[in-house]
Structure 1
Amino acid sequence: MRDIVEFVSSTLSIVGVPVVFQAYPTGVVPPSQYVTFMEYGTKPDLEAADEEITTERLIQVNVWSKGNYYQIVEDVRKILEQAGFQRTFEFDAPYTDGDSHFNKVLRFAFFDDYE
């Protein structure tokens, strides 16, 4: 099974903005655009003879931006789908007074093989 943190980080590194696992980018002022992600669920997908053959891994990617994030969302979606992820859900998180960034949430499933 893969190191999902390394896999997502390296896959999204070509987006051109900071990509961070379960945290915000370090620094006093957050960048105008960045991506965070986490694995929010994992379960057996296929089992044989009481052994797990494939695992369904559920990943949430948040795209943060002070302005229009259309292009970065499109890039993230395309890059992850090309890497074998299946998009399952997507929504705009509500923006409230005091927030510094808009937030787009994308959820993906990835079926990981045991080798």
Structure 2
Amino acid sequence: MKDLMNHIPIILEPLGLPIIFNGFPKDSEKPNQFITFLEISAKPIFVAGGNEIETERIIQINVWSNINYHQLAESIKHLMGNAEFERILEYDEPYIAGESHYNRVLQFVFCDE
């Protein structure tokens, strides 16, 4: 199986933004735009002889921005699609008063051997 902590940052590297696994350090100053990601599901879809042969993995990518992030989200969809990830869900998290960034959520699925 792919090591997503290394694989996702390599896919998104052309964006030139911080790409952080599962959150942002609390005491760090947040840049205008950054990306976080995590795996939200991994389930076997093909098992043979008691061995898991293929796994369906769902990855969530959060786009954090205090400026318009439309083009960034489109670029992420393009890069992930080129890496054979299929987008299955996309939405805006409601903005919370006092927060410094807006949050766009993108979820992708792929099959891993």
Do both share a fold (TM > 0.5)? yes
- In the alignment, residue 79 of structure 1 is paired with which amino acid? L
Distance (Å, rounded) in 2 between the aligned partners of 1:16 and 1:32:
12
* 1:12 Cα deviation from its structure 2 partner: 0.8
Name 2:18's counterpart in structure 1. 18
- Cα RMSD over matched residues? 1.4
Q: Does residue 72 in structure 1 map to residue 78 in structure 2?
A: no
The CA deviation string for residues 83-110 of structure 1, in whole angstroms up to 9 with x for no partner, is 0111110000000211100100000111
Name 2:112's counterpart in structure 1. 112
* 1:50 Cα deviation from its structure 2 partner: 2.2
What TM-score do you get using the length of structure 1 for normalisation?
A: 0.92
Name stretches of at least 5 consecutive residues in structure 2 with no aligned partner.
none
Name 2:41's counterpart in structure 1. 41
Distance (Å, rounded) in 2 between the aligned partners of 1:53 and 1:84:
18
Superposed counterparts of 1:75-114, under 5 Å? 75-113=75-113
What TM-score do you get using the length of structure 2 for normalisation?
A: 0.94
Distance (Å, rounded) in 2 between the aligned partners of 1:34 and 1:27:
15
Number of residue pairs matched by the alignment: 113
Name stretches of at least 5 consecutive residues in structure 1 with no aligned partner.
none
Say which SS state the counterpart of residue 103 (structure 1) adopts. Answer: strand
Distance (Å, rounded) in 2 between the aligned partners of 1:31 and 1:97:
19
Say which SS state the counterpart of residue 6 (structure 2) adopts. Answer: helix
